[in-house]
Amino acid sequence: MSGVDPAELTAKLVRCASVTPANEGALEILYDLLSDAGFDCVWADRGGIRNLFARWGNKGNTRSFGFNGHTDVVPIGNEADWTMPPFGAEVKDGVMYGRGTTDMKSGVAAFAAAAVDFVRKTPPDGSIILAITGDEEGDADDGTTALLDYMTDHGERMDVCLVGEPTCPETMGDMMKIGRRGSMNAHFRVVGKQGHAAYPHRANNPLTAMVRLMDKLASHELDQGTDHFDASTLAVVTVDTGNPVTNVIPAACTAAINIRFNDLHSGASLTTWLEQQAKEVRENFGVQIEVEVKISGESFITPPGPLSDMVSNAVAAETGVTPTLSTSGGTSDARFVKAHCPVVEFGLVGQSMHQVDEHVRVEHIHKLKAIYGRILKDYFA
């Protein structure tokens, strides 16, 4: 195959053990490749996180196509559970194994390869921007947000952006993302009065109040979904007391929930609802309840239109599959990009991401490069 081999580039990136927030040379590989192809590359580091901004073309061109992705990966877990080296990028029967092969070093490699080949063969009338972070799998405080801040401070702009996260559930090309649900976590601490389990009237059991509160939250129907979103969900993820005995009513307990919400809600409106529910239980049970909320991202959608049509058409042309437009799944850095420009996501089949023996079919990496190359050609046509 001509041009930059995206599978070889993927393998180089996978061999960098860039468990978030470590970089281990992954972004330097991309810096060198893109610089050699005429991209202006700048480090947009912040908070100890390495971030790469690369632009081909003049700043302020009338058309600018952007790509966002990450080279950091989640931990490997117990290495003894892996049947292949987690950072070996070894290929067996046409499948490459290693942490980050699916999420999402292959996506970054495929776009970088497509972009380099494109500007070398048919220099476009416009700009191509790659904003690659080393802080997506972690707190994400100094990753894509730092890149976007850098762009604002230096007059850089993406007119549209493609995020290369894995998006396909079953087969290559079957789904793209035009939005994402919002995500938030809430932690609760209920304080009552400790006492002997044989004399519950002399205590005030915080667990009774906590169980009632968790039941109120979990049994409440937040909504029934919208035109582009499934119904919002609330999951109780932990209830803890640390009580090792059965004859003592504890003084306090904690719990946590996660909410994935659609465009009928905001983080602020759900926070108000949670605080109101806690207030009602507090007054009914005479306990103290503390509520701490962290909003990971708001829901968003890029309405179907020219950008999603262009990506969908390119996917169909290369795979024979027309992708479903979806807002399912977890969060991604598209939640930050959406405030900068219209954004959609398309990438590989994601069945093995974050798993032991994470892997990708080598042919799919080449197919993804072809899709990204077609998108660039259609955008600058």
How long is the chain? 381
Q: Is the dihedral of CA 357, 362, 363, 369 positive or negative?
A: positive
345: annotated active-site residue: no
**Beta bridge partner(s), residue 257:** 186, 236
Instruction: Let me know: does 53 contact 147? Beta carbons within 8 Å.
Output: yes
From 72, 117, 298, 318, the catalytic residue: 72
Instruction: Let me know: does 138 contact 21? Beta carbons within 8 Å.
Output: yes
In 241-377, where do the E strands start and end? 248-249, 252-261, 288-297, 300-301, 324-326, 343-345, 359-361
| Phi (first) and psi of residue 174, to 5 degrees | -85, -10
136: annotated active-site residue: yes
Measured torsion, CA atoms of residues 50, 155, 34, 38, in degrees rounded to the nearest 10:
-150
Instruction: Let me know: does 148 contact 141? Beta carbons within 8 Å.
Output: no
From 103, 117, 135, 136, the catalytic residue: 136
What positions carry a catalytic annotation?
A: 72, 136
